[in-house]
Amino acid sequence: DARVTQTPRHKVTEMGQEVTMRCQPILGHNTVFWYRQTMMQGLELLAYFRNRAPLDDSGMPKDRFSAEMPDATLATLKIQPSEPRDSAVYFCASGLEGVGTIYFGEGSWLTVV
Amino acid sequence: AQSVTQLGSHVSVSEGALVLLRCNYSSSVPPYLFWYVQYPNQGLQLLLKYTSAATLVKGINGFEAEFKKSETSFHLTKPSAHMSDAAEYFCAVSRYSGGGADGLTFGKGTHLIIQP
């Protein structure tokens, strides 16, 4: 059963600490998305990659957030330094260009205190 | 830019009653439209999608949605609600033409409550 895998599932950290979230997309998918979900803003697209190259990161705060794909099986989202307003659920999703459907992971639930 | 509006942040229906969740979209190109469901503490699961093949789309768990271009709507329905349908439902539109391959823009979500 192919699925998008995210780690950690839950993270509580102190303000100022670095947070790294990881995602393993579905094997064969060439497009990876990072979404953030909050009560106030709903689901926001932070960034996405195609064939490991960043295509759009306009939704991501550049001063503290960074996203990379070191290889086709791993995407990372890093926050440094973290702030309480970063508390949210971060979803990774993957899809195949031209097919249309994207599949979501279970999310990384981040709390910054 | 494409956008979706979900009417009603909360919808409550009795078990066995009709479920109707409303979604209107705005798109400058022929849209691809999606409904996703999110159960508590879980990720989003695809219910169904419209990709211009047929205006009435059937999905999982007995849900279906009808694309109405004249009304710019893509409402989600289920004839008979079940307690297990209680969840958050999201309508989404492709950001650009060609499906969701460049990401989706989501509505704010509708929380479906099922009364026993």
CA B6 to chain A, closest CA, distance in angstroms equals 12
pLDDT band, residue B98 (cuts 50/70/90): low
Residue A77 · residue A65 · CB < 8 Å: yes
Tell me what percent of the residues of chain B surpass a pLDDT of 90.
72
DSSP classification of residue A60: S
CA atoms within 13 A on the CB side of B4: 29
As a whole number of angstroms, the distance between CA B78 and CA B61 comes to 9
The per-residue pLDDT for range A30-58, each reduced to its tens digit, is: 999 999 999 999 999 999 999 999 998 88
Query: How does the average pLDDT of chain B come out, rounded?
Result: 91
Picking from B40, B45, B39, the residue whose alpha carbon sits closest to that of residue B92 is B45
Chain B residues within 8 angstroms (CB to CB) of chain A: 32, 34, 36, 41-46, 49, 51, 90, 94-95, 98-109
CA of residue A29 relative to chain centroid, distance = 15
**Which range, of A13-22, A57-66, B81-90, averages the lowest pLDDT?**
A57-66
Q: Which residue of B has its CA nearest to A56?
A: B102
A104 — contact with chain B (CB < 8 Å)?
Answer: yes
A100 — contact with chain B (CB < 8 Å)?
Answer: yes
CA distances from B95 to A67, A96, B28, B72, B100 (A): 20, 15, 10, 16, 7
Picking from A9, A88, A101, the residue whose alpha carbon sits closest to that of residue B102 is A101
- The minimal CB distance from A101 to the residues B90, B95, B100 is found for B100
